[in-house]
Amino acid sequence: MYGRLGIVCIHLRVILLLFALWGFKCVDGFSDNTPNVTCLNGGSVIGGRCFCAVRFEGERCENEPCLNGGVRVPDDGRCHCPFGLTGQRCETVMYCSEAGVLQNGRCKCQPQWTGIFCNRRMCYNGISFGEYDPCQCDLGYTGPFCDTAIDCVHGNITEINECKCAAGFRPPNCSSCEVGLIYSRELDSCLSPNLKRENTDTWFSSIPWWYFLIAALCILLLISLIVATVMMNKYKKKNSRVGSAEPVINGIVPNSSPQLHDQKAEV
């Protein structure tokens, strides 16, 4: 029995010696001197080599021999293309959707459409989930391409991308008042007709009408007094001029100069 145990120990020593010669180390686990390899396009490192995913080849899985979803079969080495594609690398399109026109093996898409077959919407403010599916729009946008901003004048955009109107306004864009209400520009809200009248009345609307009548009569009286005063002043000036004129006696004006009288006599 002890002889067998000795043989086992010898075998263990031989194995440990081989590990030491091959460069293996037993420090916090087992590791080898495998070179640092990085695989592309989803490839995995196994034994120091890259094992590539389907559709990719090369030492680092850097090559894609078949385009547009085509797969190379190892038996014949040819690319097996999806429906609607052909060519050695599946690079040629055979048909287009209604939103595209086939030109030289490619689809020329109409505005707001994209994809190999022009079968995907361009979601300007959202996300596309698949072929011909409507876009999932961001908050505040709507439309099949999420290119139309939601007009929410008197309201807020909710989590379900709808316009929730403020009190008194009606959907869809909350730009007009509900039936029976009137918009107040001063308050920027919808009010009942009676309430709007109360809010829009000015300070002088509460003054009795006969106050305005008395004020108008006072203004007329003041104007009349001003006109009368002006006329009296003109009349007094006219009378003062007439009273200051000297009388003429026998054709001679008193206090006139003698020379002037002699000249008149000679004539």
Per-residue pLDDT for 70 more than 60? Answer: yes
- Written as one string, the DSSP assignment of 29-74 is SEE---------TT-EEETTEEEPPTT-BSTTS-B-SS-TT-EE-T
The predicted-structure confidence for 214-225, as pLDDT tens digits, reads as follows 888 999 999 988
The pLDDT confidence band at residue 7, using thresholds 50, 70 and 90, is: low
Structure confidence at residue 73 (pLDDT): 79
Residue listed under structure tokens 């009378």: 239
Q: Once rounded to an integer, what is the mean pLDDT over residues 24-42?
A: 60
156: how many CB neighbours lie within 10 A of its CB?
11
Per-residue pLDDT for 28 more than 60? Answer: no
The predicted-structure confidence for 155-213, as pLDDT tens digits, reads as follows 999 998 999 999 999 888 898 999 888 888 888 889 887 765 555 555 555 677 777 88
Tokens of 108: 């020329």
Structure confidence at residue 4 (pLDDT): 53
Residue listed under structure tokens 């030492």: 59
Let me know if 89 is exposed, middle or buried by CB neighbors in 10 A (0-12, 13-18, 19+). middle
Question: Which tops the pLDDT comparison, 91 or 21?
Answer: 91
Instruction: Locate the domains of the chain by residue range.
Output: 152-199
Structure confidence at residue 131 (pLDDT): 67
Let me know if 112 is exposed, middle or buried by CB neighbors in 10 A (0-12, 13-18, 19+). middle
Q: Once rounded to an integer, what is the mean pLDDT over residues 1-6?
A: 48
The pLDDT confidence band at residue 243, using thresholds 50, 70 and 90, is: low
The predicted-structure confidence for 94-106, as pLDDT tens digits, reads as follows 999 998 999 999 9
- Written as one string, the DSSP assignment of 143-177 is STTS-EE---TTEEE-TTS-EEEPTTEETTTS-EE
Highest mean pLDDT among 70-79, 126-135, 142-151, 241-250 belongs to 142-151
C-alpha distances (whole Å) from 105 to each of 71, 95, 98, 109, 210 are 20, 8, 16, 13, 91
Q: Which residues contact 152 (CB under 8 A, 6 or more apart)?
A: 163, 173, 174
Per-residue pLDDT for 18 more than 80? Answer: no
Question: Which tops the pLDDT comparison, 31 or 35?
Answer: 35
Lowest mean pLDDT among 70-84, 95-109, 224-238, 250-264: 250-264
Structure confidence at residue 254 (pLDDT): 53
Structure confidence at residue 261 (pLDDT): 46
* Percentage, residues of the chain above pLDDT 70: 70
The amino acid sitting at 146 is C
The amino acid sitting at 178 is E
* Percentage, residues of the chain above pLDDT 90: 21
- Cβ 172 vs Cβ 157: under 8 Å: no
The predicted-structure confidence for 101-145, as pLDDT tens digits, reads as follows 999 999 999 988 888 999 888 888 998 877 667 788 999 999 888
Beta bridge partners of 114: 120
How far the first Cα of the chain sits from its last, in Å, is 192
